Amino acid sequence: MRCDTAALTSAEIGAIARRIDRPIVLVGLMGAGKSTVGRKLAALLQADFVDADAAIEEAAAMSVAEIFERFGETHFRDGERRVIARLIEEGHRVIATGGGAFVNPQTRALILERTIAVYIDCDIETLVQRTGRRNDRPLLRNGDPAQILERLRQEREPFYAEAPIRVSSGSGPQHDTALQIIEAIDRWL
Ligand code: S3P
């Protein structure tokens, strides 16, 4: 059977999935679609999916925005590092991370050593549009989101570029991005 938009059959995706021996970790800026693409990717690979921000919120019993407000960003980054290390240790197959996670040297080293890191790159316009749908990202609350995202992209691009796999996602279907990732992993493995 052929998957609707892909050149890959379900059997081919299954064969690629069996060769993937490490978690796939999605990195990239806020609004790049890491969680949505991650869910679709996991469904295609018949694997489990976990969102690191959701796991942090569960562990802290409060929202990311509340953690920033009450304890500050440094505290959040520390929790983020520990939670991501645990998720990798637990062997989840597809993990979406928050946009700043891969900037932390320890988190980045761990992801690069133990997982397949995939950078989802995305144009600023789409990032602004997607992040504008919710108001729960503390870093976008104090200023013009487009300018903040531009600055973060400049600062973080050198780190994201360390991921061995990079795919571009735009305003098109995120299912296609998930398929692009599978094809890129197939070539890379
Ligand atoms: C952040 C991204 C957010 C969240 C926090 C900080 C960042 O996650 O972890 O608000 O530093 O880019 P998403 O990338 O899932 O929005």
64 pocket-lining for ligand 1 (C-beta < 6 Å): yes
Closest residue by CA, ligand 1 atom 4: 98
Q: How far apart are CA 145 and CA 153, in angstroms?
A: 12
Three-state secondary structure call for residue 128? helix
Closest residue by CA, ligand 1 atom 16: 30
Residue-by-residue pLDDT tens, the chain, 189 positions: 444 445 789 999 999 999 999 999 999 999 999 999 999 999 999 999 999 999 999 999 999 999 999 999 999 999 999 999 999 999 999 999 999 999 999 999 999 999 999 999 999 999 999 999 988 999 999 899 999 999 999 999 999 999 999 999 988 899 999 999 999 999 999
30 pocket-lining for ligand 1 (C-beta < 6 Å): yes
Can you tell me which atom of ligand 1 is nearest the CA of 35? 15
Q: Are 131 and 30 in contact (CB under 8 A)?
A: yes
Which pLDDT value is given to residue 61? 97
Q: How far apart are CA 59 and CA 117, in angstroms?
A: 24
Q: How far apart are CA 40 and CA 189, in angstroms?
A: 20
Q: What is the pTM of this model?
A: 0.95
Q: How far is the CA of 30 from the centre of ligand 1 (A)?
A: 5
pLDDT tens per residue, range 147-159: 999 999 999 999 9
